[in-house]
Amino acid sequence: MRQAPATGSGLGLGRLLQRLGDYTGALARRETLGPEHLLVAKSLYNLGRLLQDRGEQGAASDLLKRSFNIRLARF
């Protein structure tokens, strides 16, 4: 039986990439779960907030709106 590669802390690939600062890589990995998955919404939100902090309001707004729409569709 094949085992997943060790990450050193038991984190999934998406979470590990986020902690290393590769937010777009983490988002791409999570999008394999489906574009409307709640974990995709979480990554979009996190990336949107990061872009806000960096002053990139336009890009941040797009990601935050997409995150909101995914979460809203669940209710």
pLDDT in tens, 45-65: 988 988 888 888 999 999 999
Q: What's the mean pLDDT when you consider all of the chain?
A: 79
In a domain, 21, yes or no: yes
Q: What is the pLDDT of residue 13?
A: 58
How many distinct structural domains can be found in the chain?
1
In a domain, 6, yes or no: no
Range of the domain at 50: 13-73
- What average pLDDT does range 20-46 have in this prediction? 86
Q: What is the pLDDT of residue 4?
A: 45
In a domain, 17, yes or no: yes
d(CA 26, CA 16): 8
pTM above 0.85, yes or no: no
- The CATH number of residue 65's host domain is 1.25.40.10
d(CA 74, CA 51): 25
d(CA 6, CA 12): 10
